[in-house]
Structure 1
């Protein structure tokens, strides 16, 4: 039996404290491989036999595996072993600091001093421990700025917390190599700590252990929004997507009120937990607005953009041009994410705003949105900041469903206008009725009626963005004709087609007056495709032919 086995037995007999057992485990972790393997075998056996709690097992296993201990323990912990009677189990914490030992203060100088060559960088793995407190349990993800681990907080275990886990974001070496970025990141993390909001992840602290700089955050179980989007390749129904959009917007609105712009808002930075609650992540690398006010004394403000710490597909044109942070940067990103939620696709095919503007890319209409809603989303996606939606409140107002109050007032108004018109009509001699050929009575199912409604909405959106007869299969004329296939007597669809022909006639005349005959003829041909017997278009076509 080696020293660790003996110490484990002594702990189970309450002969030594858990802290003393941890120290022996730490020394054993540096021993030769055979000794270490035997210690781990013994630990596993005791755990499987039910003689060790999961928390104690995790802490001991981490010590046996750990090679990165740097910081000395801040205090001594004594834990009555789990083998003792339940009534006697308790956690006794004794402060090991002496009166002459000053408390550790994490300021800028101590942060930077921890990154000098005297503290060589050591690779972190599952089982490593940071600050003699956080035991890394699982690698959750790797990004451009570092790695995110699930970690056990030994202080929470001491306090018998039922949820002892935190998330640690450990910054990579390239990022740490920029001292000013670290100084500014520390300041921005302090700002993030002020963002107390149910839709924003909690940031606990910003610290370092030797050559490792890390942030500790709330640990969540669930999945990122990017996974949810992949599960709905055709997009989510509006009723299902709207609560998520609203929660994300609430988080950004709260940050903007605190003069903080997220600057890297994207599906990967939004998390849906197992209770379907929405959390926005990574406010620790956000940018500050209004650099000249109360933070004037801190001349250096961390700007994630200057280090490339943003995602081009969701970055505004101003971010790509390294302009000062503005809430409208987040609104552009929020609109991109909202569009993706509703359609399953990025509004510009994941092109950056710069590239999309360069090729004059237009946003395709969203069938499940009304014309008003799509215009609101379109405005939030404007490339130029001056044309973009200014506030989150304005975005929510434009995209959100109408309230029942609105529909009540609207219905009352329509009824009043109709009643007034009826009274006028009845007070006059009604004109003689024109006898029309009897129409075939088409019985439409509720599904068909809803389909026609959706097609008419879609046609209106296409018309608003100029998609009258092209592109093929995605234009106003196509949508109206699809509606007429279901109901050949639908007046709105028939009038819509006449409206397309009228619009094209007007455009053709404007081109004709500019002496642009080829464009005029093209508009006439497009109009006659929609409405072959349109008198104005036929007249202009004859005029163009005669002048050739």
Structure 2
């Protein structure tokens, strides 16, 4: 109740608007506060000395209803919460004081059963707050197409933009930027639109439970096993590192904003009103994005002192909140007994030693929870490195095929998403088994061990979209186990090699409305959006082999390009069909030629959906296949060892050309299949071609 009284004090001082007051209350309720007690305190404080806001009774009524409206239990399973994503009201408090310019909050004329744009039918209200309502919705277009999963989330903004075109423009810009946050551990924003006066966002729909449900706060013991706790921490780190690289700070990270899906994946929600870091050269006093300064989103128990003080957002604010959550996961208690960071700072509170923490873990938490930004761990990835510093062991993935229990998948997810962090997963110290995920060095590519097996390579005659050079279909046996790259080799990984090896790489075929050789384009600047986590492209077959030889010499293990048979084996991952049920779902699973690209380059033959990327996407932006590999379809073509053969019955190949697999961001729908083959001359370089490596296991020394 102390936090609520402090909030009411700020309201009395004129620092909080009416909707911000409700949003703060809803956040406290989300963290376990009693709604009735908050409403009664509000009423008594207002009676004692009237608060300088109109509609206090309305706020009190909304508080009483917030506990029931924040998360609606689906009727089919009392243990799950339908998350679309669930709403974090304090993150959306932008109602301005009467008379000020800006968006004005109102309840929109939509409700359950409303159909927006003749397409999105709202079927269930699952979140309500100061600036938006969140609905479970059905995409009627997907229903017509017979899609298996037509559900999505619709966030309806409850502000009136009639007279505030600059504010609407800001929301448009923010939604467009959020589309770039395509990451396995971030709820995905699909698009934004408006229907008359109703402005809304569409997002992926999730089934799961908030992390707060899994936490204990009685101090007796951690709520989860250590491996599972580290899995969840690593997944949150992966999401934050990805967002921070795009200059986006969450600003309200807390257990209620982390959802554990029914498949065991952690997803951070409510990036929707996250603030964007401003680069120094972008400061502009006339920038309409300054409207974001009116946001005052924070949850007292997890917000850094700087957030409380109203400072500009910084990645270190998210690191502070992450460390609070990590402390709860590992010890069972909040680091400051749920006091706000400002109170902890003012009273000189120190972290209480815990028998559940090892020395290096306690030190890592202490660094990340520093009350001064300048002394705080600067990056989420560094925090994870420090937290796991003594955990020098191989990480086991276990059963990757079929349905997996929640605990198993959550533990394995750590290994999948660790590739997004700065720190290594140290190479194995015991013989590798199928499913083991490892790195042979801190900057080596992340690998997963695969068992030997058999499958049918190629396409059968009469199969949809089958090409003559994919035939005849034939049985293939992979006789020896091997390890495959979890993702395509990244720009950052290739840069390590390039520092040791002079590359004459100027001149690359790049697409800008047409394919043409561009003398100034190379692997360092292959696409406009390229960062270190993007797949390296503009590399030839020889470049890929040189990198493999360099890595082999560096590690003592044999790395090489996969054979075409090995590539199709791990791309199919035990399935004879595409990894998605219909064409609309392609963009949820791969970076392909889509409407994002077609809008930039009219005339493309493209999927009807949007994957959010025009060119290559950061590796791992889409769901891994059953073997744990990401981007085997789409993103960039991948070189293989094989010389080109016109069909599988041909014995001798043309070794001036080599086979590429998987398609790319430019590839039309009919060619995005595991069986599809393409070929290029060995010295050819294009910004749609990269590679991944395999590592031999049998001769590891």
After TM superposition, the score normalised by the length of structure 2 is 0.39
After TM superposition, the score normalised by the length of structure 1 is 0.49
Answer 1 or 2: higher relative contact order, Cα 8 Å, separation at least 6.
Answer: 2
Bigger Rg, structure 1 or 2:
1
Q: Which has the higher strand share?
A: 2
